[in-house]
Structure 1
Amino acid sequence: MIYFDNSATTKVHPDVLSTYDKVSESIWGNPSSLHKMGENAYNLLEQSRTQIANLLGCQKEEIFFTSGGTEGDNWAIKGTAIEKGIYGKHLITTMVEHPAVINSMKQLEKLGFEVTYLPVDKHGQISVADLKNALRKDTILVSVMAVNNEIGAIQPIKEIAEVLKDHPKVHFHVDAVQAVGKGLTDLIMDERVDLVTFSGHKFHAPRGVGFLYKKAGRKLAPLLSGGGQEQNLRSSTENLPAIAAMAKALRLLLENETNNVAHEQAIREKIYDHLQKFEKVTIFSELGDKFAPHILCFAIEGVRGETIVHAFEDQGVFISTTSACSSKKGQVSSTLHAMQIDDKIATSAVRVSLDENNTLAEATEFNRIFDDIYQKFLKINS
């Protein structure tokens, strides 16, 4: 079995699962309780927060635990709108964001906010000039993903940050769900970035846990009201086993980050070099530093993406049709549509997404299986 769908979710690391089990069994008190069991739970909660903050180079008070990327995106966007709506009702994002961002923006539009959706070029990247021109006196938020989840394009976060230095009252939110452990920490944790979304199951932690970085001094309205956890900004009893496990997963991931990135790049390049030899193959993810090391999106002309996915599955290889969130809905890739790729090609798009556990041997086997699948489709369509 070859698992090349790591952008959808990753396998929980055995040591991370061990931490989850251990905490569930031995430190199961409520962190808000006053007794010794509650104190033990609280101490572990804060140790996990400190560890994550140290790994990212920020203050522990700037880390807020959530249920994952979707909540983090919703909170950053809607929390900003609620908090800063009296100062302005204009928000800026891109046409290639995750549905958690796009749908949050659409919901706010129904509530009277105005949203500018920046277009992208043929590489799936926005123009910083377009962003600069879109800024207004009533702009309160700019929300841009670091790494596109469908083709792996890296957005110009540093350049955007530079522009926003002249607009200090505008919140800058970065969706970093696909960027963790990919050699991009300096990018996503730029000093001008105010809010960053992370999701644990993208880096070998359990599902249903994540965290939001909120820069000290930036105000954000809570979406969940209740018992006042997370500095009164995110009420709900903390999922301590998953939080402790996530902190461990992040440490394990980042301690070998440089080697992991080089390894993933080598695997991706091996597949890329093979695919580009075929006449009816279109590759949307390029090599080089403008694209993340772990995502490769391509299409076989005349074959629908879901058909390609199942053909590989029959051979024990698991990939996806671009975004996992839209794969079962049969939707055309929003990113490819924004890139003005013809729908006939876009509906054929599939995504290979890697992690540090994949191997060059798996890439060789993938290429061999691809050859067989390609020839079969060629005969059917001839």
Structure 2
Amino acid sequence: MSASIYLDHHSTTPVDPRVLDAMLPYFTQEYGNASNRTHAWGRNASAAVEQAREQVAAALGARYSEIFFTSGATESNAIALQGAARRAPGAHLVTSAIEHRSVLDSMRRLEREGWRLGVLPVDRHGFVDPRDVERALRPDTALVSVMAANNEIGTIEPIAEIGAAVRRSEALFHVDATQAVGRVPLDVEAMAIDLLSLSAHKIHGPKGVGALYVRRRPRAVQLDALVEGGGQERGLRPGTLNVPGIVGLGAACALALQSMEADAKRISALRDRLQQRLLESIEGLTVNGPVQHRLAANLNVTIDGVEAEALLLGLPELALSAGAACSSSQARPSHVIEAIGAARSGTAAVLRFGIGRGNTTEEIDRAACCVIDRVRQLRGRPPAPRNETA
């Protein structure tokens, strides 16, 4: 493997060894189908699924009966958005301009099929104004979807205030919490959240498994299933349950809840160290996103006068993203960078660093040096003494 420093933890995270240890027996020993409880293998698998359901619920301040397992946040988003919208044909939907594509594209599809869509602006730091949400609500608004934390610039949205505004209406409130679970405190009751999506692989769990929170009280949320066949997950998401993956998701949630505060403190210190080094040494570098209320792991920067592809090709020892991984193949700026007004008319590179619990101070310093030297090279300058600007 050529990349020796992994700084792309917003894209995915390595599976925690403790999570893997929890999963392994369900591949080779406890391999029963959780839906068949007529024998010990099935009963043991079912018990493991229900324990994981309780672990996920604990991370959200939810009841275990409100957790439904899926293949990941993209599917959870689809079930939440389309499942809610299809119970209110032609109704009004609201989302923000910086949502993940799995939300925006689902909303645009519903708009093409006859629903009416309002897209909220954000400020230059990526914040949704709760007052804008309140103004956007109409008597026929069925659903509002705002992410908890942005996957590109790390903005942590005022979810409790937005939830309070939505709760005063008849609309449902959906939150894509993929980047927030295990990184910032979440409480679906206090935040008045009706629907919430998450993925295991963002919190040191396995790929291919996620969950959807669906409120049951004080008002039960009703969703239409997107597929038929089998009664698994109470008919909302039929199909044989991925028991090892679900066990891994539960373990990852439990571990993230335990270490969230300590991880955030340590990781934010590494992020601030990297940010300071880059700001001091690279002319024409701008930090995208807020100073406060930003994910501890996140650093998103624009560097004027260099191309992102050329910059990354000269950094084989680093794993990081140009913008967001989900849209990094596109030549144009990401929709998030455009929405906050940070797109450039000239040549510029947008880099996203995602720092994780396994990164060290030495790696951060090495990464800073690599980026600084590559920028100097692209600008036709020799590698700098460590205190000189690029």
Q: Shorter-chain TM-score: which interval? A: over 0.9
Q: Cα RMSD between the aligned structures?
A: 1.8
Query: Which residue among 264, 271, 284 is the counterpart of 1:280?
Result: 284
Change (3 A) 1:319 1:254: same
Q: Which residue of 2 aligns with 1:291?
A: 294
Q: 1:276 is paired with a residue of what secondary structure? A: helix
CA contact (8 A) 2:59 2:182 kept: no
CA contact (8 A) 1:299 1:305 kept: no
The 5 Å alignment of 1:41-56 reads 41-56=45-60
Q: Which residue of 2 aligns with 1:321?
A: 322
The separation in 2 between residues aligned to 1:378 and 1:190, in whole angstroms, is: 50
Query: Which residue among 141, 144, 156 is the counterpart of 2:143?
Result: 141
Q: 1:145 is paired with a residue of what secondary structure? A: coil
The 5 Å alignment of 1:1-382 reads 1-36=4-39, 37-85=41-89, 89-167=91-169, 169-186=170-187, 190-216=190-216, 217-277=220-280, 278-288=282-292, 290-312=293-315, 314=316, 316-344=317-345, 348-379=349-380
CA contact (8 A) 2:83 2:223 kept: yes
TM-score normalised by structure 2 residue count: 0.92
CA contact (8 A) 1:333 1:346 kept: no
Q: Which residue of 1 aligns with 2:387?
A: none
CA contact (8 A) 1:285 1:295 kept: no
Structure showing the higher helix proportion among its residues: 1
Q: 1:351 is paired with a residue of what secondary structure? A: strand
Deviation string, structure 1 residues 136-174 (Cα, Å, up to 9, x no partner): 00000000011111111111211111212311x211000
Change (3 A) 1:63 1:284: same
| Bigger Cα displacement from structure 2, 323-332 vs 199-208 | 323-332
Give ranges in structure 1 of 5+ residues lacking alignment.
none
The separation in 1 between residues aligned to 2:352 and 2:49, in whole angstroms, is: 36
The separation in 2 between residues aligned to 1:124 and 1:35, in whole angstroms, is: 52
CA contact (8 A) 1:81 1:89 kept: yes
Change (3 A) 1:358 1:27: same
Q: Across the two proteins, how many residue pairs are aligned to each other?
A: 375
Deviation string, structure 1 residues 317-354 (Cα, Å, up to 9, x no partner): 11001211111233421101111223346851110011
CA contact (8 A) 1:126 1:155 kept: yes
Change (3 A) 1:222 1:380: farther
Change (3 A) 1:117 1:346: farther
The separation in 2 between residues aligned to 1:368 and 1:63, in whole angstroms, is: 45
The separation in 2 between residues aligned to 1:209 and 1:189, in whole angstroms, is: 24
Report how far residue 257 of structure 1 moved: 1.0
Change (3 A) 1:299 1:262: same
Deviation string, structure 1 residues 60-109 (Cα, Å, up to 9, x no partner): 10000000011011111101101233xx6100001111010011011101
The separation in 1 between residues aligned to 2:105 and 2:149, in whole angstroms, is: 18
Q: 1:343 is paired with a residue of what secondary structure? A: coil
The separation in 2 between residues aligned to 1:379 and 1:108, in whole angstroms, is: 49
Report how far residue 20 of structure 1 moved: 2.2
CA contact (8 A) 2:124 2:289 kept: no
Give ranges in structure 2 of 5+ residues lacking alignment.
383-389
The separation in 2 between residues aligned to 1:295 and 1:177, in whole angstroms, is: 14
Q: Which residue of 1 aligns with 2:386?
A: none
